[in-house]
């Protein structure tokens, strides 16, 4: 099983979904580390309560030295033999150093149907644009923010009367299904890890009703 680190900055609900999925026998990856750049991230307590190493490498003591902060992150990942990194609400822009060190092995989840609405405030922007479909994307991380090869997407309707919170909740429910699926597919598809049971044609795990 490939050891995975999940990088968070806050709530950590996607991280929790990954933990839950990875606990199921046969999942091709195990969550070995949850790493936050913010000491107060709620997700750290959740990870620790589930017996997962929860580590904070606070970015603030590094000031503007992003390279030094990333070097500390990278050293922590390497020291634990991490094979894949999942960004899950990790609110720091990455430099080419960390992206380059993890090319093909770093995933991100973004709350829009990329390439539409990269960046922040995706739900408000989707409502303002009047799109009828919105959703979420899991992609490989490259030097361009919210770009990179798309691994999986899930779409939701934008319904009449939706506010930002309605739409965010509808998308988030899909994020919690999509990220575990994308991690499973990607981990199983790495060299030597082919898993014939992992297919995009398989139904998404979890209940679909009401989402």
Q: How many residues bind ligand GRF (CB under 6 A)?
A: 15
Q: At closest approach, how far in Å is the CB of 110 from ligand GRF?
A: 6
Q: Taking CB under 6 A as the rule, does residue 37 contact ligand GRF?
A: no
Residue 40 C-beta: closest distance to ligand GRF, Å: 13
Q: Does position 66 bind ligand GRF by CB under 6 A? A: no
Q: Which of 2, 4, 12, 70 binds ligand GRF (CB under 6 A)?
A: 12
Query: In 3-state terms, what secondary structure has residue 29?
Result: strand
Strand-pairing partners, residue 134, are 156
d(CA 211, CA 202): 18
Q: What is the rounded (10 degree) CA torsion for 68, 43, 171, 113?
A: 20
Question: Token digits for 97?
Answer: 């150093």
Question: Would you call 50 a catalytic residue per the annotation?
Answer: no
Q: How far is the CB of 168 from ligand GRF (least distance, A)?
A: 7
Which residues have C-beta within 8 Å of that of residue 114, sequence separation ≥ 6? 137, 139, 146, 147, 150, 153
* Partner residues linked to 56 by β-bridges: 36
Per rule CB under 6 A, is residue 110 in the interface with ligand GRF? yes
167 φ, ψ (degrees, to nearest 5): -70, -40
**Under the criterion CB under 6 A, does residue 77 sit at the interface with ligand GRF?**
no
Scan residues 121-160 and list those touching ligand GRF (CB under 6 A). 136
Of these residues, 59, 69, 110, 186, which one is catalytic? 110
Should residue 11 be labelled a site residue for ligand GRF when binding is judged by CB under 6 A? yes
Residues 6+ apart with CB under 8 A from 131: 116, 158
86 DSSP β-pair partners: 6, 107
The residue from 175, 180, 182, 188 that contacts ligand GRF (CB under 6 A) is 175
**Chain positions contacting ligand GRF, by CB under 6 A:** 8, 10-15, 88-89, 109-111, 136, 172, 175
Active site positions, annotated: 110
């Amino acid at each position: 099983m490939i050891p995975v680190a999940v990088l968070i900055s806050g709530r950590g609900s996607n991280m929790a979904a990954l933990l839950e999925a990875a606990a199921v026998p046969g999942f091709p990856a195990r969550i070995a580390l949850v790493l936050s750049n913010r000491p107060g991230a709620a997700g750290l307590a959740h990870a620790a309560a589930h017996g997962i190493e929860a580590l904070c490498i606070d970015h603030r003591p590094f000031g503007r030295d992003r390279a030094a902060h990333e070097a500390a992150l990278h050293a922590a990942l390497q020291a634990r033999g991490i094979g894949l990194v999942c960004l899950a609400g990790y609110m720091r822009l990455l430099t080419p150093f960390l992206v380059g060190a993890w090319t093909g092995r770093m995933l991100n989840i973004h709350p829009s149907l990329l390439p539409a609405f990269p960046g922040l405030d995706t739900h408000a922007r989707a409502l303002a644009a009047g799109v009828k479909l919105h959703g979420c994307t899991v992609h490989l991380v490259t030097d361009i923010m919210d770009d990179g090869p798309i691994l999986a997407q899930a779409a939701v309707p934008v319904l009449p009367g939706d506010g930002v919170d309605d739409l965010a909740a509808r998308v988030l429910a899909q994020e919690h299904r999509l990220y575990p699926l994308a991690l499973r597919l990607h981990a199983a598809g790495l060299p030597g890890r082919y898993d014939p049971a992992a297919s995009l044609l398989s139904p998404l795990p979890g209940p679909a009703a009401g989402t």
